[in-house]
Amino acid sequence: MDIFLERLFDGITNGTVYAIMALALVVVFRGTGTINFAQGEMALFTTYIAWWLTTQGVSIWIGALVAAIVGFLLGAVVERTLIRPVRKRNDMATLIVALGLFTGFNALAGLLWNSETKPMDGLFPGGQDDYVGVGGARLYFDALGVWLFVILMIGAVFLLFNRTRLGLNMRAVADNPESAALSGVPTGRILMLGWGLAGTIGSLAGVLVTPLSAQQLSLTTMFPILIYASAAALFGGLDSPIGAVVGGLTIGLLEAMITGYVDFIGGTLPQTAALVVIVAILLFRPTGLFGTRQMERL
């Protein structure tokens, strides 16, 4: 029972991080109609910035804040300067730019901070004794902190989408860009803000997950997370924020349970298992659980 609970906690912790990464992908997809494959590496880059600040004696909370701001600027600038000029031509061009950014940001992080693994401080106390016992299992404070943080973030994003004018404009641009422009919505600025928002969400996901990750901060930290987040976004429906959250938690729990209980998969094949989930979902329900839009753009 206690082992099951620990796997459950692990699954939820990873799942919440996949959920917000998936949320970042969904925010971009709704506005631009493309999956930003560079989202993970952009987050990796800003996570390095947060880590580097901690090595300069700055608190990780300030580091996370800086990462969030840089993530916003990075997303907005990338949309304005690289995505917008090619987007109107065709979707393959956007995809190629995203792949270029993927390798570019990874290489830049390697160039600036070398490829050695770096241990990173967490936002929450992560000592051996920082846990509460739940049914014989240990629920560590750092995991609990990640849960709370992610719940707050998801709440904030939902409020933004459903209770503010900016969110209404974002939904309008995602739904029908032409009518949005004809209503006076500055569509270009809205797309830029969408990419910025996704950059911020991704950056915070990076800062949250890296200290919990077995491999800490290295050049390959974010890649598996992006794969899981893509799976989560596809599972939930690429244009649905609720789908991203449900998808993220589902993938996180699947990963924890499959690696825990299916011997032959163990610790080495979880990514394959996630990819199998993607393929299965796309076969039987091309728009995902909560999705509405046909994904012909892919």
Partner 1 sequence: MSLLEVTGLTAGYGQARVLHGLDLTVEPGEVVVVLGANGAGKTTTMRALTALIPHGGTVTFDGAPLDGLNPAQIVGRGVSLVPQGRGTFSHLSVLDNLRVGAALRRDTAEIKADIDRWCEVFPILAARSGQEAGTLSGGEQQMLAVARALMSRPKLLLCDEPSLGLAPKIVSELFSTLGDINREQGTALLLVEQNAELALGLASRVYLLEVGRVVASGDAEGFRADESIRRAYLGL
Output the smallest distance, CB 165 to partner 1, in A. Answer: 8
Question: One-letter amino acid identity for 231?
Answer: A
User: Phi and psi dihedrals of 89, rounded to 5?
Assistant: -70, -65
Site membership for partner 1, residue 176 (CB under 8 A): yes
Q: Does 87 interact with partner 1 (rule: CB under 8 A)?
A: no
Contact of 202 with 24, CB cutoff 8 Å:
yes
Contact status: 57 vs partner 1 (CB under 8 A): no
Site for partner 1 in 185-214 (CB under 8 A): 185-187
Compute the least distance from the CB of residue 244 to partner 1, in Å: 16
Nearer to partner 1, 33 or 199 (CB): 33
CA dist., res. 174 & res. 2, Å (int): 45
Q: Which stretch binds partner 1 (CB under 8 A): 143-151, 169-177, 207-215, 265-273?
A: 169-177
Among 178, 267, 284, 294, indicate the residue that binds partner 1 (CB under 8 A).
178
C-beta separation of 247 from 234 below 8 A: yes
Contact between 171 and partner 1 per CB under 8 A: yes
Rg value, the chain, Cα: 19
Q: By CB under 8 A, is residue 160 in contact with partner 1?
A: no
Is 168 an interacting residue with respect to partner 1 (CB under 8 A)? yes
CB of 231 to partner 1, least distance (A): 24
Q: Which stretch binds partner 1 (CB under 8 A): 91-99, 150-158, 167-175, 203-211?
A: 167-175
- In the complex, least distance from residue 129 CB atom to partner 1, rounded to whole angstroms: 49
**CA-to-CA distance for 65 and 99, rounded, in angstroms?**
27
φ, ψ (nearest 5 deg) of residue 74: -60, -50
Which pair of tokens denotes residue 181?
């422009």
Q: Which of 55, 59, 179, 215 binds partner 1 (CB under 8 A)?
A: 179
Residue with tokens 């943080």: 149
* Pair 232, 224: CB distance under 8 Å: no
Site map (CB under 8 A) of partner 1, residues 274-293, x = contact: ------------------x-
Could you give the CA distance from residue 146 to residue 19 in angstroms, rounded to a whole number? 12
Alpha carbon distance 221, 231 (integer Å): 17
Contact residues for partner 1 (CB under 8 A)? 165, 168-169, 171-172, 175-176, 178-187, 292
